[in-house]
């Protein structure tokens, strides 16, 4: 582990084994939900090749320079945000090899003036590559949050993501099943488009917390495209309610883990 200054009291990595499962949507709405609860929250977009966080957070422009060569994060919806999307403007592709990706993430972790954060949410790219390894080796992660859809191909990749965290000795804070079902807005009929319950079954099998099942909702897409996350656009919706419950479970899990670690350390000191 490299030496570093404390960036945030808690650092949560949001990961998935494959793309297209709604990982960024979960990261954005979780960050905003925590900010709505009064926490100081940062959101780091570590998906270098597909930086969608600026659009989803309704942000554009470039970071302003801070003191001593640092950068100031952009802010919206009460969340401080940094992304390569602020640096590579327009539709330009970021075609970088692993070492450059690692260097950029380290800069975002150490050269951005995040301020005093309670939570730093890191939106990781899909897979188990350079960005994930750089993050795990550069900062003390509080834990990883795995996002998957219910179908088997997504769950297989989610399991690989969990194994990566296990190998890096990063606790799993929970598993989220996104696109769990579709509830017709006209007749309230429920349709399990991608099957249902697979993520909960995996969580039980792996003995990690299952944080909730998020339905498909057109307003989620609209909020992401328009830069207004659904927990703001529709605060009374089922989706927003689930996110508030998810954030409460995460906070409880983090605090219990911190208490257990402190107790364990005290017992060792007293031996």
Give me the pLDDT at residue 134, please.
Answer: 84
List the chain domain ranges.
8-270
Nearest to residue 49, comparing CAs of 121, 130, 113, 112? Answer: 130
Nearest to residue 74, comparing CAs of 102, 55, 100? Answer: 55
Has residue 1 got a pLDDT over 60? no
CA distances from 210 to 10, 203, 256 (A): 20, 6, 16
pLDDT tens digits, 111-149? 999 999 999 999 998 876 778 888 888 888 999 999 999
Give me the pLDDT at residue 3, please.
Answer: 37
pLDDT tens digits, 61-113? 999 999 888 999 999 999 999 998 898 655 666 666 667 888 888 899 999 99
> pTM for the whole thing?
0.89
- The whole-angstrom separation of Cα 178 and Cα 210 is 12
What are the structure tokens assigned to 110, written together?
Answer: 């150490």
pLDDT-derived band of residue 264, with 50, 70 and 90 as boundaries? low
Give me the pLDDT at residue 240, please.
Answer: 92
- The whole-angstrom separation of Cα 242 and Cα 217 is 13
pLDDT tens digits, 220-257? 888 888 999 999 999 998 889 999 999 999 999 998 88
Fold of 8-270: Rossmann fold (3.40.50)
What are the structure tokens assigned to 32, written together?
Answer: 């905003």
Q: Which residue has the higher pLDDT, 51 or 2?
A: 51
pLDDT tens digits, 221-231? 888 889 999 99
166 in Cβ contact with 136 (< 8 Å): no
**Mean pLDDT, range 5-17, rounded to an integer:** 86
Has residue 10 got a pLDDT over 60? yes
Give me the pLDDT at residue 186, please.
Answer: 79
Give me the pLDDT at residue 103, please.
Answer: 86
Give percent of the chain above pLDDT 70. Answer: 90
- The whole-angstrom separation of Cα 179 and Cα 252 is 25
- The whole-angstrom separation of Cα 88 and Cα 246 is 33
pLDDT tens digits, 156-191? 989 988 999 999 899 999 999 998 888 777 787 888
Q: Which residues contact 148 (CB under 8 A, 6 or more apart)?
A: 16, 17, 21, 154, 155, 157, 158, 175, 176, 177, 178, 198, 199, 202
- The whole-angstrom separation of Cα 22 and Cα 239 is 13
Give me the pLDDT at residue 6, please.
Answer: 66
Rg (CA), the chain: 18
């Amino acid at each position: 582990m490299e030496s570093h200054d404390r960036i945030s009291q808690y650092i949560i990595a949001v990961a998935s084994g494959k793309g297209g499962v709604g990982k960024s949507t979960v990261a954005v709405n979780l960050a905003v939900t925590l900010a709505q609860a009064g926490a100081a929250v940062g959101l780091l977009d570590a998906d270098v090749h597909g930086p969608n966080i600026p659009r989803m957070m309704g942000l554009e422009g470039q970071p302003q320079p801070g003191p001593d060569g640092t950068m100031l994060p952009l802010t919206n919806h009460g969340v401080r945000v940094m992304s390569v999307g602020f640096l590579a403007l327009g539709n330009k592709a970021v075609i970088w090899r692993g070492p450059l990706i690692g260097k950029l993430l380290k800069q975002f972790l150490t050269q951005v003036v995040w301020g005093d954060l309670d939570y730093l949410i890191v939106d990781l790219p899909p897979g188990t590559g350079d960005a994930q390894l750089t993050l795990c080796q550069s900062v003390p992660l509080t834990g990883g949050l795995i996002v998957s859809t219910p179908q088997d191909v997504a769950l297989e990749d989610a399991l690989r993501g969990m194994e990566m965290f296990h190998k890096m000795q990063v606790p799993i804070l929970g598993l989220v099943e996104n696109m769990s079902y579709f509830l017709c807005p006209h007749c309230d009929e429920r349709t399990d488009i991608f099957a249902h319950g697979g993520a909960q079954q995996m969580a039980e099998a792996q003995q990690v917390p299952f944080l909730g099942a998020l339905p498909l909702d057109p307003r989620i897409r609209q909020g992401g495209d328009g830069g207004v996350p659904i927990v703001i656009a529709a605060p009374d919706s089922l989706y927003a309610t689930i996110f508030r419950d998810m954030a409460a479970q995460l906070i409880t899990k983090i605090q219990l883990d911190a208490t257990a670690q402190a107790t364990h350390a005290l017992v060792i000191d007293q031996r």
